[in-house]
Chains A and B, each alone.
Chain A
Amino acid sequence: EIVLTQSPGTLSLSPGERATLSCRASQSVSSNYLAWYQQRPGQAPRLLIYGASSRATGIPDRFSGSGSVTDFTLTISRLEPEDFAVYYCQQYGDSPRTFGLGTKVEIK
């Protein structure tokens, strides 16, 4: 199965700063089938990005995804207070579908 490694484990930033989150796959992700989710404390995950770079419905344009093959990035251009959360990447190009362990974005 494809193992997704997310880095860093924790990112300490201030509101208004730029966040760059990495997701590296142990093998090529077919057709760049990679998604990103946000999970706030006590809430269910929310889809942010699919197909490595397409924003889901209702997701603000400060969220952007990029990358291909094995290296993918989620960028939050300017952090809002509600963006402090845990972010997971997930690949759906191979079975079984797998998630990374997450990156926590915390307030500095």
Chain B
Amino acid sequence: EVHLVESGGGLVQPGGSLRLSCAASGFTFRSYGMNWVRQAPGKGLEWVSFISSSSDVIYYADSVKGRFTISRDNARNSLFLQMNSLRDDDSAVYYCARDQPGSCYYFDYWGQGTLLTVSS
């Protein structure tokens, strides 16, 4: 069974940094692209970033470009999101979500999410 478990969320002051992690199990992690998708409280879904299976292709939403860095460790079946220069509007639940092999398509499995609150 596919399992994605996010961790690392918390309360951070504006301008601060935080690193999110996602532990994957139940599938061949190194074969799938992975994403971060976020949801502000009471709001809709926003795709944040994508990383290909071998880390050679990376995309970011304009809203986080230059501030967030996605990475992965296939040996540890883990996905990461380094978030710097955090702003109030980055506050959200952050989900890791599995993509389709070889492409940026739809998200077939999601973790339960980790909450980031940016506030002074």
Contact = CB atoms under 8 A, between A and B. Distances in A.
A and B: bona fide binding partners: yes
Interface of A: 33, 35, 37, 43-47, 50, 56-57, 88, 90, 92, 95-102
A67 B62 CA distance: 29
A98 B44 CA distance: 10
B61 interface: yes
A45 B45 contact: yes
Contacts of B59: 95-96
Given A44-B111, A44-B113, A96-B59, A88 B106 contact: no
6 contacts: A35-B107, A44-B111, A47-B106, A47-B109, A50-B106, A99-B44
Given A90-B106, A97-B104, A102-B44, 20 more contacts: A33-B105, A33-B106, A37-B107, A44-B95, A44-B110, A45-B45, A45-B95, A45-B110, A46-B110, A47-B107, A50-B105, A56-B108, A88-B45, A90-B45, A90-B107, A95-B104, A96-B47, A99-B45, A99-B47, A100-B44
B112 interface: yes
